[in-house]
Amino acid sequence: MRLLSSIVAVAFAAVASAVSTSGSRLLVVLDDVAEKSAYSQFFGDLADRGFDITYETPKSDKFKLFNLGERNFDHVVFLPTKVKGLGPNLTPNILLDFVNAEGNIMVAMSSTTPTSTSIVSLLSELDIMLPIERTGTVVDHFNYDSTSSPDEHRVLVLDAPGPIRPDVKNYFEKPGSVIAVPNAAGHVLGNSQLLTPILRAPATAYSYNPTEQFDVIEADELFAAGSQIALVSAAQARNNARVTLVGSAEMLQDKWFGAKVTKAGSKAVAADNRAFAKTLSAWAFKEIGILRVNGVEHHLKDDAEVNPSLYRIKNDVSYLISVSEYSYDSWHPFILPAGDEMQLEFSMLSPFHRLNLPVKATNGDATVFGTSFTLPDQHGIFNFMVNYKRPLLSSIEEKRTVSVRHMAHDEWPRSYVISGAWPWISGIFATVTGFVGFSALWMYSKPTGKASKTKKTQ
């Protein structure tokens, strides 16, 4: 357990001052800077958590996402704008470069404003589909607010997402509360494993184009229906950059933070939009769900040398990895989700071993996972590989390369150690014993007397 006393102590000597693990510089893009007053509580919560917020309009030339190849901002929030294009500083290629540079983006849409083409192009790269006309309204005639939308049913009242990790209360931890989702623009997720729906529409909801008037809406006129519609979704790139899509920008406004909503047939309750927005933004800007590998240790069992580059076939080896999780402002021991396992692969071209890593110890701000196993009877170049990818958690790809040699001529076990060789060894000794005994009998036996001479007669 040397990993606990050395690597962990060094790893936690310095803790980042910013609330987010990737930085605190936040850019908010909106039509008019004055519109930020409608989101004062949302942005006030972000400022209280340590974010340095800059407000700009798409037409402004005062900002650029990059300067000399480096990010000027760590996070970007897009609020609905009436501008079709976001200008030369926010082209789809620049936004993709921002994500590739590990920048985080939150996009808030509205059914009352068409989504800009730059955002549509960005989302299409992430396998997120929007209506062709770039707008669409989600309505539900069963789960609506009878106070604010008694006729059009465009204000959905939905149950808050339950805790994704019941054992660690970081993610949407208030089951039983409700969320008001006004004027939502629905979207559909593709098959990418990098996408995670956070809030889906009920089975009775559907999305259609509000600019077209229908007396009766046919099924082929709908963009999507039921749980196929995603209202809030998250995408995490392979470099752990995060893109969050909120189908209703209005749900982040002050008037819906704690607003009284009444679902048909129910009593009026306060919408829990503020707590939901806090948790959602915390995930989007890397305040929660961030995993860090503090150190990796592998060694021969009961040997003092740590992380050697050379092993021998059939060696008994121990492996340890220390992992921490970031939550708002500090690092904590990483607790595996219920029923989940972290695994180690010892592989060449394909895994020779795939082993679960049980918890060995919890020390300070880290959890140490480890296991012991016997190397395979195969020499070559091998990898100790931990590839841990789970929804809403940053991925871990930790690889250590070692060489495994064959046994030297003086390292093979003696024949008398191998029980299967005992019959052959016994046969050798029996043969030798018999030969020696025969030779002794032959050499020391008394010879017979001389034959008597007889006269030959004719």
- Whether residue 90 is found in the same domain as residue 216: yes
30 and 116 inside one domain: yes
* Residues 303 and 270 grouped into a single domain: no
Residues 270 and 300 occupy one common structural domain? no
End residue of a domain, out of 286, 315, 336: 286
Contact 224, 207 (CB under 8 A): yes
The mean pLDDT value of the chain amounts to 87
Q: Which of 233, 251, 286 is the last residue of a domain?
A: 286
The pLDDT assigned to 349 comes to 87
Same domain, 179 and 261: yes
**83 is a domain residue:** yes
Would you say residue 10 lies in a domain? no
Residue 191 predicted with pLDDT over 80: yes
- Summarised one tens digit per residue, pLDDT across range 417-443 is 888 888 988 999 999 999 999 998 888
One domain for residues 203 and 108 = yes
Tell whether 106 and 198 lie within a shared domain. yes
pLDDT digits (tens, 9 = 90+) for 22-31: 899 999 999 9
pLDDT for 458: 52
Note whether 266 and 309 are same-domain residues: no
Residue 18 is predicted with a pLDDT of 52
Q: Kindly state whether residues 210 and 304 are assigned to the same domain.
A: no
pLDDT digits (tens, 9 = 90+) for 8-43: 443 433 344 457 888 999 999 999 889 999 999 999
> Hey, which bits of 273-379 come out as E strands?
288-300, 310-312, 316-327, 330-333, 343-347, 351-356, 359-363, 366-374
Last residue of a domain, one of 229, 257, 286: 286
pLDDT at position 2 is 59
Position 413 in a domain:
no
- Domain boundaries, position 296: 290-405
Please tell me the pTM assigned to this model: 0.84
Q: Residue 394: which CATH number?
A: 2.70.50.60
Q: Which long-range contacts (CB under 8 A, 24 or more apart) does 238-242 make?
A: 238/194, 238/395, 239/100, 239/102, 240/102, 240/286, 240/290, 240/394, 240/395, 241/99, 241/100, 241/101, 241/102, 241/103, 241/104, 242/104, 242/105, 242/283, 242/284, 242/285, 242/286
Any domain includes 422: no
Q: What is the mean pLDDT of residues 64-71?
A: 92
Q: Is residue 248 part of a domain?
A: yes
95: domain CATH number is 3.40.50.880
For residue 9, the model assigns a pLDDT of 44
Task: Give me the mean pLDDT over the 327-348 stretch.
Answer: 91
Query: Are 113 and 236 in the same domain?
Result: yes
Kindly state the percentage of the chain with pLDDT values over 90.
Answer: 58
Enumerate long-range contacts of 98-103, CB under 8 Å, 24 or more apart: 98/65, 98/66, 98/71, 99/237, 99/241, 99/243, 100/237, 100/239, 100/241, 101/66, 101/71, 101/241, 102/22, 102/239, 102/240, 102/241, 103/22, 103/65, 103/71, 103/73, 103/74, 103/75, 103/76, 103/241
Same domain, 340 and 261: no
**pLDDT for 339-379, tens place per residue?**
899 999 999 989 999 999 999 999 888 999 999 999 999 99
Average pLDDT over residues 288-313: 93
* Number of domains making up the chain: 2
Pair (336, 356) in one structural domain: yes
31 belongs to a structural domain = yes
- Rounded Cα–Cα distance for residues 375 and 390 (Å): 28
Is the residue at 9 inside a domain? no
Q: Does residue 147 fall inside a structural domain? A: yes
Query: Binning pLDDT at 50, 70 and 90, where does residue 302 land?
Result: confident
CA 330/CA 324 separation, integer angstroms: 10
Distance, CA of 72 to CA of 63 (rounded, Å): 8
154 φ/ψ sector (left φ>0, alpha ψ -120 to 50, else beta)? alpha
CA distance 145 to 248: 15
- pLDDT digit string (tens) for 372-423? 999 999 999 999 999 999 999 999 999 999 999 998 888 877 877 888 888 9
